[in-house]
Amino acid sequence: MRVLVQRSGEAKCIVDEKITGKIKKGLVLFVGFTEGDNQESISYLVHKIINLRIFDDENHIMNKSILEMEDSKILSISQFTLYADTKKGNRPSYQKALNGQQAIQLYNLFNQELAKYIPVETGIFGADMKIHLVNDGPVTIWLER
């Protein structure tokens, strides 16, 4: 399981010209799954994400987690391309990405687990999504399990 975490000043997901998810201050998560990912992988990364100290404290030091930020949310976006393999040629291979049926189940579990701690907005799994993101900082963190 891979999650690209971006601290956001604001973000939204648009599918077919409709907003499916929108946040102000918070985190945008791009989430991908591979063979062997399970509830343990999800629990580990959810715990890591909600406790990741990447928000500024009163001294402008990244020392606060999203749980400590007032009115913050998460925008979670499924993204199988996190498992792109570019070692051969110029066309990425996505063979390491989990198939859609299995991945959507894990993605839904991941979002449900996150929602126990903080409000979660989402895109639409498998859709052609347009993500508008103001990366705050910029702060971008790669997590993997």
Catalytically annotated residues: 81
Per the structure block, which two tokens stand in for 14? Answer: 């648009």
Measured distance between the N- and C-terminal CA atoms of the chain, rounded to whole angstroms = 5
Q: Are strands 26-32 and 2-15 parallel, antiparallel or unpaired?
A: antiparallel
Distance separating alpha carbons of residues 53 and 51, to the nearest angstrom = 6
The answer to whether 125 and 78 are in contact (CB under 8 A) is: yes
